[in-house]
Amino acid sequence: MSFTLPSLSYEYDGLQPYIDAETMHIHHTKHHQGYVNNLNKAIEGTEFENMSIEDILKNVDKASPAIRNNGGGHYNHSLFWKLLSPNGTHPSGDALEGINKKWSSFDKFKEAFSQAAATRFGSGWAWLVVLEDGSFEICSTPNQDNPIMGKDICGVKGFPILGIDVWEHAYYLKYQNRRPEYIEAFFNVIDWNEVNSRLVQSTEYFK
Ligand code: MN3
Residues (pLDDT < 70) of the chain are: 1
Rounded to the nearest whole angstrom, what is the distance from the C-alpha of residue 31 to the centroid of ligand 1?
7
Give the architecture-level CATH label for domain 93-205: 3-Layer(bab) Sandwich (3.55)
* Residue 139: per-residue pLDDT: 95
CB-CB contact of 73 with 32 (8 Å): yes
Q: For residue 42, what is the enclosing H or E element?
A: helix 33-43
Strands of 136-142's sheet in order across: 136-142, 124-130, 159-165
pLDDT given at position 22: 98
Can you give the residue ranges of every domain in the chain? 21-83, 93-205
One-letter identity of residue 183: I
Q: Do domains 21-83 and 93-205 have the same CATH topology?
A: no
For domain 21-83, the CATH superfamily is: Fe,Mn superoxide dismutase (SOD) domain (1.10.287.990)
Q: Given this model, what pLDDT does residue 74 score? A: 98
C-alpha pair distances (Å), 127 with each of 43, 124, 160, 164, 167: 26, 10, 6, 7, 14
In the reported structure, the alpha carbon of residue 80 is separated from the centroid of ligand 1 by a whole-number distance in angstroms of: 9
Could you tell me the distance, in angstroms and rounded to a whole number, from the CA of residue 27 to the centre of ligand 1?
A: 6
Instruction: Give, as one character, the DSSP assignment of residue 160.
Output: E
pLDDT of residue 207: 84
Contacts of 11 (CB under 8 A, 6+ apart): 21, 86
CA 123, CA 167: separation in Å to the nearest integer? 4
Inter-residue contact 110 to 187 (CB < 8 Å): yes
pLDDT value for 154: 83
Instruction: Write the CA distances from 183 to 5, 12, 30, 110, 178, integer angstroms.
Output: 25, 19, 22, 10, 9
If you measure from the C-alpha of residue 13 to the centroid of ligand 1, how many angstroms do you get, rounded to a whole number? 17
* pLDDT of res. 1: 65
User: Measured in angstroms, how far is the CA atom of residue 169 from the centroid of ligand 1?
Assistant: 6
pLDDT for the residue 150: 83
CA distances (Å), 185 to each of 18, 19, 25, 188, in order?
5, 8, 18, 6
Which residues are CB-neighbours of 97 under 8 A, at least 6 positions away? none
Ligand 1 centroid – CA 124 distance (Å): 9
